[in-house]
Amino acid sequence: MSRLALSDEILMGIEKPARYIGNEVNMVKKNPDDVDIRFAMCFPDVYEIGMSHLGIQILYDTFNRRDDVYCERVYSPWPDLDKVMRQKNIPLFSLETQSPVKDFDFLGITLQYEMCYTNILQVLELSQIPIYTADRTMEDPIVIGGGPCSYNPEPIADFFDAFYIGEGETRYNDVFACYKRMKADGCSRAELLHELSKIPGIYVPSMYECTYNEDGTLASFEPIYDDVPRTVTKEVVMDFNDVHYPEKPLVPFIQVTQDRVTLEIMRGCIRGCRFCQAGMIYRPTRQKDVNLIEDYALKMIKSTGHEEISLSSLSSSDYECLKEFTYFLIEEMGNQHVNISLPSLRIDAFSLDVMKKVQDIKKSSLTFAPEAGTQRLRDVINKGLTEEVILNGAMQAFHGGWNKVKFYFMLGLPTETMEDAEGIPALCERVAQAYYDIPKEQRNGKISITASSSFFVPKPFTPFQWAAMLDPETYIERAHHVKDTFRQQLNARSLRYTYHESYVSVLEGVFARGDRKLSKVIYDAYKSGCIFDAWTDFFDNDKWMAAFEKNGIIKEFYTTRERGEDELFPWDFIDIGVTKKFLLSEWNKARKEVVTPNCREKCSGCGAAKFGGGVCFERQKNG
């Protein structure tokens, strides 16, 4: 038995000790003395969340294929252990070798949502690594961030030595080579960071300087050396069929959020919904060859013993071989007692047939995400789902025996009016009516419709990056109004409506489009006790508000302010392929309620074609 970093007494005194002992099936074992580079890969949230994340499994596998690298994992210690570690001065450790993170060469942190920012500081502090990049020496690991939030890394730029912008599979070999070379030369940390900043896709915040206008907006953002690139182009995997995929993913002992094989079938989305960041930053859409994923499905079930497999993509229905692949899965997995879960499917004859085969109709519900209540507003956000499509899909399902429907909406979308808000209950009511129009003997008891709305947060690299976020008071008012309107519907007893609280969304709104001035706020909020902000039980809005006040930062500058067309954004130095010009034309079309066709209907020349592959060249291939 390997020695654990925590004593028996500590482990037995905390919740779920299995979070901290490693030793899972398919864990990679190496001798740290035999490698040149030790990489600690961190998901700054609790184990059960972090272990469910596909991106980490991919990088864990990719890095560990190299003989000279040993990649280990780190997650945020839950508050019960956090307390003990501080009391006893125990440094944060990796799961594999149970050794201190501070002894590693790299600490990689994946940034999946803004509300994990205080957890990053927890990980750094518990690791006994200086929180600010400026205070670190060659003794400390290189702290490198990646993932969706690194598309606007500025609010946390001061805490990171570097960010990897884009898809992780492509450029780490260069990073490792550079690190080995520079370390052998006995370079200083500043020299190393300078060198790293020249690698495509790598952004080293300390190599750039920004100035601000009097009104607080960004005036300039420039590299401090001539040989540091002015723009950082995102990294993207263009040979999507020839990239490592973890055939033997880790299998945790304790139940985690995604306790199943996750198979990525496609990256990117052809649809171009104007609120969706993923739909832009992962352009162009790339699909995996169906034979390849069939092979992966079998191998991964065999190597994990999981009893469920699920597909990962932004919009599975747009995967061109979905039918073929799904029927393959039903056939193969059924024999092996493996359940299939198919998220984000458009409701149509095919998906209903599949759902009938893979789940219990009595328990399952239909899911629609119209996002907005009226066609007008759906045109604004470029969500191609029409009421007709919803009703058709729902009716087919009702005839097939379904009687539960879930709807997802957003409130606070640009140009939204009261009428749009009232469109939410109206749409649900019409679906209920359609159900009760079916003769009694042909339907399956009462219908139950659940609708929920979240508070829209404008994100960088979307057409709505210029838009004002609604102020929280108006949002809540609107939500109340929607709730009241639900109560007035004829079928009110079959309808249920819930809406998200506003506080967290406001903070997300601040950080999503934030700048470097915000790092002090995050630091102070953390120091005053904010942690696990993504968890309702721990989120403490008052502490956050105090941190803003202390630093004289006005939240509304980031949230409710509509940006001018020529404003320089803190994230403009990143090139995602999709041009600012395209996004701006989309913003203008949105306000004119003009829709844009999806990539397969017609290319709109967004700029992502410059990467030379994916959906942009599908048509050419097929003639």
Partner 1 sequence: MSEETYKIRIKYVKSGVLKYIGHLDLMRFFQKAFKRAGVDVAYSQGFSPHQLMSFAAPLALGVTSEGEYFDAEFNSLESSEELVRRLNEQMVDGVYVKDVILLPEKAKKAMSIVAASDYLISFNNEDIKDAVLEKVPYLLKKETIEVFRKTKKNEKVEDIKKGIYKLELNGDKIYMFLATGSEYNLKPESVIEALCKEADVTYNRFDYQIHRVETYYKNANDKLVSLLETGTKIQ
**Which residues in this chain contact partner 1 in the complex, by CB under 8 A?**
1-2, 4, 8-9, 11-12, 17-18, 21-25, 27, 251, 253-255, 301-307, 336-337, 339, 359-360, 363
Partner whose footprint covers residue 9, from ligand SF4, partner 1, none (CB < 5 to 8 Å by kind): partner 1
Element (H, E) at 517: none
Q: How far is the CB of 405 from partner 1 (least distance, A)?
A: 20
Please say which residue, 133 or 465, places its beta carbon nearer to ligand SF4: 465
- The length of the chain, given as a count of residues: 623
Calpha distance 550→127 (Å, rounded): 27
Please say which residue, 533 or 618, places its beta carbon nearer to ligand SF4: 618
Instruction: Report the amino acid identity of residue 439.
Output: P
Calpha distance 112→148 (Å, rounded): 6
Q: How far is the CB of 578 from ligand SF4 (least distance, A)?
A: 7
Partner whose footprint covers residue 306, from partner 1, ligand SF4, none (CB < 5 to 8 Å by kind): partner 1
Partner whose footprint covers residue 448, from partner 1, ligand SF4, none (CB < 5 to 8 Å by kind): none
Calpha distance 412→121 (Å, rounded): 31
Please say which residue, 61 or 235, places its beta carbon nearer to ligand SF4: 235
Please say which residue, 216 or 597, places its beta carbon nearer to ligand SF4: 597
Residue 595 contacts ligand SF4 per CB under 6 A: no
- 166 contacts 55 by C-beta, under 8 angstroms: no
DSSP letter at 25? Answer: B
- Give every CB contact of residue 145 below 8 A, 6+ residues apart in sequence: 108, 109, 110, 111, 153, 156, 160, 162, 163, 164
Q: How far is the CB of 283 from ligand SF4 (least distance, A)?
A: 4
284 preceded by a cis bond (ω within 30 of 0): yes
Please say which residue, 360 or 473, places its beta carbon nearer to partner 1: 360
Please say which residue, 450 or 604, places its beta carbon nearer to ligand SF4: 604
What are the φ and ψ backbone dihedral angles of 70, each rounded to 5 degrees?
Answer: -120, 115
Residue 330 contacts ligand SF4 per CB under 6 A: no
Q: How far is the CB of 612 from ligand SF4 (least distance, A)?
A: 10
Q: Could you tell me which stretch among 141-149, 164-172, 380-388, 607-615 binds ligand SF4 (CB under 6 A)?
A: 607-615
Q: How far is the CB of 177 from ligand SF4 (least distance, A)?
A: 31
What is the x/- site pattern for ligand SF4, positions 256-295, by CB under 6 A? ---------------------------xx-----------
Partner whose footprint covers residue 33, from partner 1, ligand SF4, none (CB < 5 to 8 Å by kind): none
By CB under 6 A, name the one of 229, 364, 604, 613 that touches ligand SF4. 604
Residue 615 contacts ligand SF4 per CB under 6 A: yes
Torsion-angle region of 267 (φ positive above 0: left; ψ -120 to 50: alpha; else: beta): beta
- Give every CB contact of residue 352 below 8 A, 6+ residues apart in sequence: 396, 397, 400, 402
Partner whose footprint covers residue 193, from ligand SF4, partner 1, none (CB < 5 to 8 Å by kind): none
Q: How far is the CB of 513 from ligand SF4 (least distance, A)?
A: 23
Q: How many residues bind ligand SF4 (CB under 6 A)?
A: 11
Output the CA–CA distances (angstroms, integers) from residue 617 to 288, 322, 352, 612, in the order listed.
Answer: 15, 20, 31, 7
- 156 contacts 117 by C-beta, under 8 angstroms: yes
Partner whose footprint covers residue 336, from ligand SF4, partner 1, none (CB < 5 to 8 Å by kind): partner 1
- 123 contacts 74 by C-beta, under 8 angstroms: yes
Residue 482 contacts ligand SF4 per CB under 6 A: no
Residue 599 contacts ligand SF4 per CB under 6 A: yes
Q: Is 189 exposed, middle or buried (0-12, 13-18, 19+ CB in 10 A)?
A: middle
Calpha distance 474→604 (Å, rounded): 35
Residue 534 contacts ligand SF4 per CB under 6 A: no
Q: How far is the CB of 579 from ligand SF4 (least distance, A)?
A: 10
Please say which residue, 209 or 601, places its beta carbon nearer to ligand SF4: 601
- CA neighbours within 13 Å on the CB side: how many for 92? 28
Assigned token pair, 431: 């679906």
Q: How far is the CB of 158 from ligand SF4 (least distance, A)?
A: 34
Please say which residue, 22 or 147, places its beta carbon nearer to partner 1: 22
Partner whose footprint covers residue 616, from ligand SF4, partner 1, none (CB < 5 to 8 Å by kind): ligand SF4
Q: How far is the CB of 317 from partner 1 (least distance, A)?
A: 23
Calpha distance 555→544 (Å, rounded): 11
Residue 236 contacts ligand SF4 per CB under 6 A: no
- Work out the widest C-alpha separation in the chain, in whole angstroms: 81
Torsion-angle region of 125 (φ positive above 0: left; ψ -120 to 50: alpha; else: beta): alpha
Calpha distance 211→542 (Å, rounded): 30
Please say which residue, 373 or 607, places its beta carbon nearer to ligand SF4: 607
CA nearest to 519, candidates 209, 156, 121, 44: 156
Please say which residue, 1 or 184, places its beta carbon nearer to partner 1: 1
CA nearest to 496, candidates 434, 432, 557, 439: 432
Calpha distance 294→330 (Å, rounded): 12
Calpha distance 205→189 (Å, rounded): 14
Please say which residue, 42 or 615, places its beta carbon nearer to ligand SF4: 615
Which parts of this chain interact with ligand SF4 (CB under 6 A)?
283-284, 599, 603-606, 608-609, 615-616
